[in-house]
Amino acid sequence: MSEIPTPTSPPPDVLRCAYLELVVTDLKRSRDFYVDVLDLVVTYEDETCVYLRSLEEFIHHNLVLRQGPVAAAAAFSYRVRSPEELDKAEAFYRELGCRVERRPEGFVRGVGDSVRVEDPLGFPYEFFYDVEHVERLAWRYDLYTPGALVRLDHFNQVTPDVPRAVKYMSDLGFRTTEDIQDENGTVYAAWMRRKPTVHDTAMTGGDGPRLHHIAFNTHEKHNIIAICDKLGALRMSDRIERGPGRHGVSNAFYLYLRDPDGHRVEIYTQDYYTGDPDNPVVTWDVHDNQRRDWWGNPVVPSWYTEASLVLDLDGNPQPLTERTDEREMDVTVGADGFSYTRKEDDGELPSWKQGEYKLGEQL
Amino acid sequence: MSEIPTPTSPPPDVLRCAYLELVVTDLKRSRDFYVDVLDLVVTYEDETCVYLRSLEEFIHHNLVLRQGPVAAAAAFSYRVRSPEELDKAEAFYRELGCRVERRPEGFVRGVGDSVRVEDPLGFPYEFFYDVEHVERLAWRYDLYTPGALVRLDHFNQVTPDVPRAVKYMSDLGFRTTEDIQDENGTVYAAWMRRKPTVHDTAMTGGDGPRLHHIAFNTHEKHNIIAICDKLGALRMSDRIERGPGRHGVSNAFYLYLRDPDGHRVEIYTQDYYTGDPDNPVVTWDVHDNQRRDWWGNPVVPSWYTEASLVLDLDGNPQPLTERTDEREMDVTVGADGFSYTRKEDDGELPSWKQGEYKLGEQL
Amino acid sequence: MSEIPTPTSPPPDVLRCAYLELVVTDLKRSRDFYVDVLDLVVTYEDETCVYLRSLEEFIHHNLVLRQGPVAAAAAFSYRVRSPEELDKAEAFYRELGCRVERRPEGFVRGVGDSVRVEDPLGFPYEFFYDVEHVERLAWRYDLYTPGALVRLDHFNQVTPDVPRAVKYMSDLGFRTTEDIQDENGTVYAAWMRRKPTVHDTAMTGGDGPRLHHIAFNTHEKHNIIAICDKLGALRMSDRIERGPGRHGVSNAFYLYLRDPDGHRVEIYTQDYYTGDPDNPVVTWDVHDNQRRDWWGNPVVPSWYTEASLVLDLDGNPQPLTERTDEREMDVTVGADGFSYTRKEDDGELPSWKQGEYKLGEQL
Amino acid sequence: MSEIPTPTSPPPDVLRCAYLELVVTDLKRSRDFYVDVLDLVVTYEDETCVYLRSLEEFIHHNLVLRQGPVAAAAAFSYRVRSPEELDKAEAFYRELGCRVERRPEGFVRGVGDSVRVEDPLGFPYEFFYDVEHVERLAWRYDLYTPGALVRLDHFNQVTPDVPRAVKYMSDLGFRTTEDIQDENGTVYAAWMRRKPTVHDTAMTGGDGPRLHHIAFNTHEKHNIIAICDKLGALRMSDRIERGPGRHGVSNAFYLYLRDPDGHRVEIYTQDYYTGDPDNPVVTWDVHDNQRRDWWGNPVVPSWYTEASLVLDLDGNPQPLTERTDEREMDVTVGADGFSYTRKEDDGELPSWKQGEYKLGEQL
């Protein structure tokens, strides 16, 4: 694919990922999952939508669930530093030839003047500053549950050509903090940030545009374990797709869940400060089997292959473009792939890892 | 196999599992694992052996590593309530026709008058009361590390016929706290205790006699996570066989490691009090995929199939007797096996679980 | 006071402290505290009483709140190993000349055949075996809250003459695990156990008989912190009397609360195994300021001086007998008392500790 | 005092508080404290100084200990976004009439071109961009200890006139996140940030200029507890001045220690994101006794009154200016002060709080 040109127009000053608008096919069931299981806080709800936020948030919402015909992500929304930044967003994307829509009254409740675009990668990106403030529940420990979600941490997007995406996102003012590459320079994924954590969004190589996941923070690791324990008690343990575990990339403790529509939700805690301009970029070898799980636990195939559709500004699913570069699953756990724990090793796996890393042959 | 008769002689009053004697083939490498990685405390060591204890222990040791030609368990040792109980142990096992050896000076350092037997299941069991006291390091927080092991919790033994083993262990005064069965009454495993926790030892169905694992306690769940993190940092994550996770059985948080000889070590925390005589026995359905992992994460095949040899009193490995009952792996994750998250479900697995629970077909 | 003679009749075989019956003056307010704040589980309730249990308990209750005119403890109840032990309890106390009452139908709901006595120290002790089983909620993580109480751990009683109390409790089959003494052999407190933890009850020197506190277990330290955080959020932080902190004695992490009647409740986690008959007794110097708080934080005066009345079998408060031995508060933080961090020190306190340890003037 | 004028020169773009230079009177003893007790990592050391960093840091150091005649803070050092910002810093302070010193080779090892000033409040502030990178040890879990310090979080400065200081710091580009005021508008303290946490520094009302404390982050609350436990084990518990506890202001979990020279060190975890320009400022009532400890535990007097001297650019201690506004200790715990748990209450304290909140007599 051709490189996305750098606009002469300056990018908007993005503060942070702020909320995701998600289309769900059974609002009641999704509400049960996000409110009764994950204990997100309802800011507003009616028959067609539920607006949710995390406990430390003071803006109106971090997640909008909207009833619709096809499960998909309708908007990846970022907050910018001031109202004026919206003009920059508009100009930036218009120069890129993207479809741009601006609504002074906003696209969803609680948010005012907003710019939505179909970005060069096909994602529905939103930018806003004006937003309704709500109570920051940080001190309301009477409302905390064992798995309390306290912040929105990041998005994760699937896109075929990671370097192309990184170039565009860098133009948008994001910085790379970590990535996964192989010895030939193929890039499998990259983590990019505005706020000084490991990411506000990540670009994961695969057929796209798709939403890989949305991630919320807990304060401590036991909070994540508590969510697993609760899912077990509710006989919903099959909502757990992967983890809990420690990431290599980001050094965070994590868990991946799948919501009733299969949308992936990560619970995440304890990455590190990245706010200095010379923050060292960490590049991981795709064959290092501690890169995605520091404990070497293998990634389940669905985690590589499944993701949510994204919508264009008319609400229609974006068609997918196939990844043509090597795929991470193929080069690591696939028939011809390999992973190592110690780079210098000859690759002889202990018996208990053979089944995991050579899945085809086992039993 | 024929039932083991109940001796007329009363059993010794066992307090708790106290230590394991383990033969290792490379003492230096094993010492590195147990001392430098797991941070057990050295009570004594020389060229042929290392005596180790946990931080809250006040008796001489919980684990003896002894250099030898074949990796195996040489003794499962229990402490009894008084010196007089040794006579009972002797009489009990002699009546069972077992080989019995008593040494007033003990079989290992730090322990006095001891009885060792080749028990009816083929395991080398030891009983002692007299033992050297050492400093209980419970308050020595200057010595604690992030994954501090504070107590020996239990043994786990592999034996072909679980009900036969349970009957004999009950005669020895152990009580069952939990077990795994199927709809036909086949018993796959049973947990048995003297001290009021879920177990001092468990009987796991399989070709035996073999040692399945030895388990140590930590105080909190983050201690177990810290062990995983450290293994990652040392590029030894392939020592992790299974977990961390939450057990269904026992409700404990767990991790299974494999030592340099492949001996399995569990790190374990937070089971429950079982000391009342009418403590309710929990029976799990073998097809409930939350029984061994409350979060539904599948058990790796090696965990079912691999275990350590045990030695007779001459130091020779005991031959194995094959299990003739159904095997847990076969009936759960095998080609004809099945597991459910919700009993009433038709068994349709979400895509991210299919690979895990039907391992043969995937990719 | 004269020594309590050792009965020739054997003591009952006590399993563990099982429940406390507490008279409260405003049932609604007490229910709010124990159910809505501390999240104990209601087994049964009506207009005059609330029966509560912890999450891992399988017997009917661990705490009975009963509406009454005077806030007091009505029964310290222990479970025994079998129904037959009740006859032993009866004989044991009758031989001691104590008032004994036996009710085959029990004194409270859920409990059958029971013996209540006014013991030689003036405490209303109860013994029972027969009890209704209820669901053990250990696996019901959907019911857990951040400060989940999982077990009843112990009672703590105030009595004037600690050695006299210890002698009697030893006759009853309890073992001392730790105590606090001074250089003259004066004993200030002693911890005594049946189940293999540091205590089922403790004897604290002071005007008695009084209830010092009842203690519940959490799994981890953050659970105790969560209770404090919640009390802050509810603007009930003045319910916190002391802590959280790490005990020297017992090595447990602790918090002391005061309920609406001033009854003291401890939240407690992570003491150690004490089940061996030769378990080393730990004796602490009363002047060691890490004995009651390992971090040297001073004990508030009310903790030493305030406690709950106990009732006789007619429901009347027992009169108090004054302690004639030295009092712990006087010899440590009082005008003539002293405490040290390091025994060898000359006692010069850093400026930030002076106010705390020379409170004598302010009381 | 007269207001500090706003320079026409723009302020430097400050990233974050980066390191503190501390003069200690016994380097060996201070090294023992920061390295052997607090487990900070040594980047460099010689006979006169020790350079220390936290585990997630990638710049050369977060703390410099330098042997000297008088215990004091020699520099509060901030990192700026680019080398060019140093020119702005120089111009900004020169316009304020401050003494400014610039050294292209830096004032300490590992840091290049730097500007040091005696700021309008009398503090030795430093600004730099150029710095040596060192290994970020975030993934080196083999080096972690139970109380691992992972980041420098903030400074805290004592200054007589808080609004005056806030005005100047706002001109320097800092934003207020929280403050403490009374009903008359007297400001007792204010928290100010550049990086999006609650603060990079705080202004605490009192005789100044003095250093109140430096604060490091841990990942979880148990890490802070582990530090207390270790201090107990080392019989150094009298290094604990205050806590652990939960702050009202910042919502963080905290502990205050005093180093061998009496310099105060806070250990801190889990405040919240503040990076949005309209982040709500939280104003606490000085009489709310949950403001400084959410659990209502009283602040020890020394915490209010004691602090470290700061040096001018010649290395001489800055003279103190007395605070003329009301003092927080006086209006809260002093003889005429008062604090409440619930604003509407009549102020009747429970017995166990009376001693704590009427300390006035004892000082």
* pLDDT tens profile B35-88: 999 999 999 999 999 999 999 999 999 999 999 999 999 999 999 999 999 999
Helix (H, G, I), strand (E, B) or coil at A41: strand
Chain C residues inside the 8 Å CB shell of B79: 276
B248/C276 Cβ within 8 A = no
* Largest distance between two CA atoms of chain C: 61
Best residue in B246, B272, B281, B290 for a mutation probing chain C (most C CBs within 10 Å): B272
The residue assigned the tokens 């156990």 is: C193
* Token representation of residue A107: 């696209």
Structure-token pair, residue B258:
């494999």
Chain A neighbors of D296, CB-CB under 8 A: none
The minimal CB distance from A222 to the residues B222, B237, B296 is found for B222
C285 to chain D, any CB pair closer than 8 A? The answer is: no
Chains near A with 3+ CB pairs less than 8 A apart are B, C, D
CB contact under 8 A, D139 and B232: yes
Q: State the average pLDDT for chain B.
A: 95
Token readout for C165 is 């109390």
Backbone angles phi, psi at D240, to 5 degrees: -80, 120
C280 interfaces chain B, CB cutoff of 8 Å: yes
The pLDDT value recorded for residue C7 is 98
**Alpha-carbon radius of gyration of chain A:** 20
* Helical residues (DSSP H) of A111-261, grouped into ranges: 162-171, 221-233
Q: Do B296 and A351 touch (CB under 8 A)?
A: no
Range C259-285 average pLDDT: 98
Q: CB D58 to CB A279 under 8 A?
A: yes
Yes or no, beta carbons of C276 and B82 under 8 Å apart: no
Asked if C156 and C215 touch (Cβ cutoff 8 Å), the reply is yes
Spell out which residues of chain C touch residue A222, defining contact as CB-CB under 8 Å.
220, 222
pLDDT at C362: 38
Choose among D16, D59, D280: nearest Cβ to A58: D280
| Low-confidence residues in chain D, pLDDT < 50 | 359-363
Q: Is C284 on the interface with D (CB under 8 A)?
A: no
Interface of B with A in 233-252 (CB under 8 A): 235-238, 240-242, 244, 246, 248
Q: What is the pLDDT of residue C355?
A: 64
pLDDT tens figures, D304-323: 999 999 999 999 999 999 99
Query: Where does B194-340 have alpha helices with state H?
Result: 221-233, 301-305, 328-332
**Distance from C-alpha of C127 to C-alpha of C14, rounded to nearest angstrom:** 8
Contacts of D233 in chain B (CB under 8 A): 139-143
To the nearest whole angstrom, how far is the Cα of A56 from the nearest Cα of chain D? 7
pLDDT given for residue B347 in this prediction: 64
**Cβ-Cβ contacts under 8 Å for A324 (sequence gap 6 or more):** A160, A161
* Contact assessment for residue A147 and residue A333, using Cβ atoms and an 8 Å cutoff: no
**Is A232 within 8 Å of C148 when comparing Cβ atoms?**
no
Q: How confident is the model at residue B356 (pLDDT cuts 50, 70, 90)?
A: low
Fold entry, domain B14-305: 2,3-Dihydroxybiphenyl 1,2-Dioxygenase; domain 1 (3.10.180)
CA dihedral B27, B28, B33, B38 (to 10 degrees): 90
| Residue-wise pLDDT tens digits, C44-63 | 999 999 999 999 999 999 99
Chain A interface disruption, residue of C37, C140, C142, most A CBs within 10 A: C142
**B289 in contact with A at a CB cutoff of 8 Å?**
yes
Q: Chains contacting C with at least 3 CB pairs below 8 Å? A: A, B, D
With an 8 Å Cβ cutoff, are D232 and C253 in contact? no
At residue D336, the pLDDT reads: 78
Contact (CB<8Å) A195/D220? no
CATH topology of domain D14-310: 2,3-Dihydroxybiphenyl 1,2-Dioxygenase; domain 1 (3.10.180)
Q: Is C295 on the interface with B (CB under 8 A)?
A: no
How is residue B85 written in tokens? 């109980």
CA distances from A104 to A60, A111, B76 (A): 17, 9, 75
Residues of B in contact with A296 (CB under 8 A): 232, 237-238, 240
Does the beta-carbon distance from B136 to C280 stay under 8 Å?
yes
> Is the predicted pLDDT of residue B182 greater than 70, yes or no?
yes
Q: What pLDDT does residue A359 have?
A: 47
- A139 and C234 within 8 Å at the Cβ level: the answer is no
Residue C357 has pLDDT above 80, yes or no: no
Residues of D in contact with C242 (CB under 8 A): 352
**Percent of chain C residues topping a pLDDT of 90:** 91
The rounded percent of chain C whose pLDDT value lies above 70 is 97
Find where tokens 């080069």 sit: A331
**Which residue in the set C133, C273, C277 is minimally distant from B56, CB to CB?**
C273
Give dist(CA D62, CA D16) in Å, integer.
Answer: 11
D181, D254, A40: which is closest to C229 by C-alpha? D254
Nearest of A62, A31, A42 to residue A151 by alpha carbon: A62
**C58 Cβ under 8 Å from any chain B Cβ:** yes
What are the residue ranges spanned by the domains of chain D?
A: 14-310, 328-362
DSSP class per residue in B141-199: TTT--TT---EEEEEEEEES-HHHHHHHHHHTT-EEEEEEE-TT--EEEEEEESSSSS-
Residues shown for chain D: 363
Mutate to test the interface with A, among D246, D249, D274, D276 (most CBs of A within 10 A): D276
The DSSP code for A138 is: T
Nearest CA in chain B to A363: B360
Cα-only R_g, chain C: 20
Assign B230 a pLDDT band (cuts: 50, 70, 90): very high
Which residue, A13, A151, A128, is CA-closest to A78? A128
Our separate counts of H helices and E strands in chain A read 7, 18
A289 to chain B, closest Cα gap in Å:
9
Residue D362, pLDDT score: 38
In chain B, pLDDT over 70 holds for what percent of residues?
97
HSE, CB side, 13 Å, CA atoms: give it for residue A2.
5
The residues, ordered by sequence, that sit 6+ positions from D287 with a Cβ below 8 Å of its Cβ are D182, D331, D332, D338, D339, D340
What distance lies between CA A15 and its chain's CA centroid? 16
Between the alpha carbon of residue D311 and those of residues D91, D99, D257, D265, D314, the distances in Å are: 22, 13, 22, 18, 7
Q: How far apart are CA B353 and CA A300, in angstroms?
A: 8
Which chains sit next to D, with 3 or more Cβ pairs under 8 A?
Answer: A, B, C
Spatial CB neighbours of C159, under 8 Å, sequence gap ≥ 6 = C121, C122, C123, C165, C203, C204, C205, C206, C208, C209
Average pLDDT across chain C, whole number: 95
If you write DSSP's letter for every residue of D205-219 in order, what string do you get? ESSBSEEEEEEEE-S
Interface test with A, best of B235, B258, B357 (most A CBs within 10 A): B235
Residues A22 and A65: beta-carbon distance below 8 Å = yes
Yes or no, beta carbons of D238 and C296 under 8 Å apart: yes
Contact B12, B80 (CB under 8 A): yes
Cα→Cα distances A281→A188, A268, D58, D196, D219, Å: 15, 20, 11, 21, 22
A100 close to A93: Cβ distance less than 8 angstroms: yes
Regions of chain A with pLDDT less than 50: 359-363
User: How sure is the predictor about C354, in pLDDT bands with cuts at 50, 70 and 90?
Assistant: confident
- Amino acid identity of residue D358, one-letter, is K
Nearest to D228 among C222, C295, C301 (CB): C295
DSSP for residue A362? -
Which of C270, C295, C333, C345 to mutate against chain D (most D CBs within 10 Å)? Answer: C295
Calpha distance A249→A272 (Å, rounded): 11
Query: Which residues on chain C are in Cβ contact (under 8 Å) with D349?
Result: 238
Q: How far is B70 from chain C (nearest CA, A)?
A: 34
Mean pLDDT of B113-129: 98
The closest CB to that of B277, out of C81, C139, C151, belongs to: C81
Interface of D with C in 180-219 (CB under 8 A): none
Q: How far is B297 from chain D (nearest CA, A)?
A: 25
The Cα B167–Cα C138 span in angstroms is: 28
Closest residue in chain A to residue C219, using alpha carbons only: A222
Instruction: Give the distance from residue B141's alpha carbon to the nearest chain D alpha carbon, in angstroms.
Output: 5
**pLDDT score for C100:** 98
Using the beta-carbon criterion (under 8 Å), do B146 and D142 form an inter-chain contact?
A: no
The pLDDT of residue A346: 67
Cβ(A110)–Cβ(A131) below 8 Å: yes
Would residue A352 be called left, alpha or beta, if left means φ above 0 and alpha means ψ between -120 and 50 degrees?
alpha
Neighbours of B (≥3 Cβ pairs closer than 8 A)? A, C, D
H/E run at residue A89: helix A85-95
Q: Do A229 and C144 touch (CB under 8 A)?
A: yes
Pairing outcome for strands C264-269 and C210-217: parallel
CB contact under 8 A, B226 and D139: no
Query: C272 and B221: CB-CB below 8 Å?
Result: no
Q: Are C89 and C80 in contact (CB under 8 A)?
A: yes
